[in-house]
Amino acid sequence: MSLTIQQVEKLLLGSHKFEHLSFSLLLMRKKMLYATNTSPSVLQECAKEILGFLEKFKGTMSSDLAVLEKL
């Protein structure tokens, strides 16, 4: 699974619902960070952590990955 920077930004600014609780918590944390500082470096940091999480847990996130593919 790979997301572009634009897709990560949509994810951080959107209100998508996800079944995987730990992914939802990660997104909430990153949304709060990005809301306070919208610099490209913070966006890059958020993207790196989100993509790392998705790579690690992609086997258990099939329904959430379907939502992400529609971004």
Q: Where are the domains of the chain?
A: 5-69
pLDDT in tens, 13-47: 999 999 999 999 999 999 999 999 999 999 999 99
Nearest to 61 by CA among 20, 26, 28, 3: 20
Whether the full predicted model's pTM is greater than 0.85, yes or no, is yes
- Radius of gyration of the chain, Cα coordinates, nearest whole angstrom: 11
What's the mean per-residue pLDDT of the chain? Answer: 94
Count of beta carbons in the 10 Å neighbourhood of residue 57: 16
Q: Answer whether residue 5 shows pLDDT above 80.
A: yes
The CA dihedral of 55, 57, 61, 66, to the nearest 10 degrees, is 0
Three-state DSSP class for residue 33: helix
- The label of the residue with tokens 């600014």 reads 13
Q: Could you read off the pLDDT of 46-62 as tens digits, one per residue? A: 999 999 999 999 899 98
